[in-house]
Every structure is written in structure tokens, then in C-alpha cells.
Amino acid sequence: MKKLVTILIFAMLIFVSNVTIAFAQEPTKPEETEIWEPKPKVVTVDSETKIPLDAIVLFDGANFDEWVTAADSTEVKWILNGDGSMTVKNKTGDIQTKRNFGNIQLHIEWRSSPENTGSNQSKSNSGIFLQNRYEVQVLDNNDNDTYVNGQVGSIYKQSIPLAKASSKTGDWNSYDIIYHKPEFDSEGNKTKSATITVLHNGVLIQDHYEIKGTTEYIGWPKNIAHGDAPIKLQDHGDNSRVSYRNIWVRAL
Ligand code: MG
């Protein structure tokens, strides 16, 4: 009998405490679910250029100060146009930022050339490589089909874009990219994939895609451990004549 009473009291205590917890978990006033601190930092956006003031401007048309030729770190040989843009100079090689980056928000504008009469992968082919390894494809796919995991806005040979949002050939396009770097353990094994979100002219075309590894022309993605690395722009070597302008980045 004594044992039974003890069990009953114990059961009642559990019941009452659960009811109490249930009441404690359900707020009854709006203030209980309001968070006031810490306040997010203030980021002012320039009213003219629309560039956030905490961004690093990588290219504003004035010079190539933030860039080098990728192959040998010599000065950039691409064409500075004088209208705020640059154009790939054929066979002078990819260019890359002097700075290394990890997680970023990147804004970049690009334009295909109406004079480029190539087809498939040879019509204004360039590309933006995050951390020197993971390519967001730049290509003129207006009246120009190619394999869809290699078309404009693809993560090259990995992720087909959700839409083709290209401007008319010769008009400017924008990419807004949110990129989170992959993580590796001390043995060099990947523990977390990189992720990427891309807006093409404001249209969502990559939605938090988990990058499988390097974006290879031939072969499967590779996952060799790496740290922060430059942003690279591609000279595809077939007279692509792709132009770029207004490039800025925010470290996340
Ligand atoms: Mg490319």
C-alpha cells in the first residue's frame, strides 16, 4: 500500500511538472517572444551606385588593381574599355583576385558580345569560379542550345539552373551570388559541402545548391581540402569577347 501511494504521488508530480512546463513554453504576452539584442549591424547602401558600403569593390572600371593573371600572377592583359567595363582578351588567360575569399555575397555584371557567332559552348563562354574551383557558367544561350548542366547559370556540369533569365545578347546581365565554402577535417576529408545560391537578373536560378566538388570539364568533381582562395574569371580561349563590370563582394 505504501509503495502504491509513493508511485501515485510520483506520477502526480510528473503530471503537474509537465503541465507547468507546457504553460511555461506557451507565451501569453507578445513581449515574451521579442528579441531586442544584439542589434544587426547597420549597412548603408550608396544611393547612386547601389553598392553596400561594407563591400570590397573588386572592379569599378578604373583599373585592374584587385586582379592578376591567374597563371603567373603577372598584370592583367584583358581590355579596360573606359566605359566602366573590361573585356576578356583572347588567350591572355584567366584572371583572379589578389585577395582570397571564403563565404561571400558577390555581385557581378557581364555581357555577351553580339559579334560572337560561335555555337554550343563557344558562344561567349566565360565563367566565375568561386574559390578558384567552382564555376558558375557564363554563356550566351540565346538561340544557342548546349547541354543544360553547362548552360548559362549552371554550376558547370553539376547543377542545371532553375531558369534561363538571360538578357538580350549584348545587354548587361547581373549575377548575385551567395556562397558558403566547404569544410574539411584535419585529415582533409570534406565534412560539409559548399552551398551556392544565384540570382540571374534578379531571378533565382540556383537555390542553396550543395556543390559536389570541383567543376571539371572532363571527369567527376574532386574534393581536395583547401582554404580561402581567389575569385577567378575565365578566358575560355575561343575569342569569347565577354565583358564584365561592377564587381563587388561582401565577406559573410
Ligand atoms: Mg565557362
Please write the tens of the pLDDT for every residue from 156-193: 999 999 999 999 999 999 999 999 999 999 999 999 99
Residues 6+ apart with CB under 8 A from 149: 156, 157, 158, 159, 160
In a domain, 135, yes or no: yes
In a domain, 138, yes or no: yes
Strand-pairing partners, residue 245, are 85, 109
Residues 183 and 223 in one domain: yes
Q: What integer pLDDT is reported at residue 16 of this predicted model?
A: 47
Residues 20 and 61 in one domain: no
Could you say which DSSP state residue 31 is in? G
In a domain, 160, yes or no: yes
Q: What integer pLDDT is reported at residue 4 of this predicted model?
A: 53
Dmax (CA) for the chain in angstroms is 96
Q: Which residues of the chain have pLDDT under 50?
A: 14-16, 19-20
In a domain, 99, yes or no: yes
Residues 226 and 119 in one domain: yes
251 CA from centroid of ligand 1 (Å): 24
Answer whether 137's CB lies under 8 Å from 152's CB: yes
Residues 12 and 136 in one domain: no
H helices present in the chain, as ranges: 2-25
CB atoms within 10 A of CB 59: 24
Q: Which domain holds residue 13?
A: 2-32
In a domain, 201, yes or no: yes
Compute φ and ψ for 186, nearest 5 degrees.
-65, -20
215 CA from centroid of ligand 1 (Å): 10
214 CA from centroid of ligand 1 (Å): 13
36 CA from centroid of ligand 1 (Å): 46
Q: What integer pLDDT is reported at residue 3 of this predicted model?
A: 60
Residues 23 and 123 in one domain: no
Residues 12 and 68 in one domain: no
236 CA from centroid of ligand 1 (Å): 6
Q: What integer pLDDT is reported at residue 25 of this predicted model?
A: 86
95 CA from centroid of ligand 1 (Å): 13
Residues 6+ apart with CB under 8 A from 40: none
Of the chain, the end-to-end C-alpha distance in Å amounts to 65
**Overall pTM surpassing 0.95 (yes/no):** no
Number of domains in the chain: 2
Answer whether 226's CB lies under 8 Å from 131's CB: yes
Residues 227 and 170 in one domain: yes
150 CA from centroid of ligand 1 (Å): 8
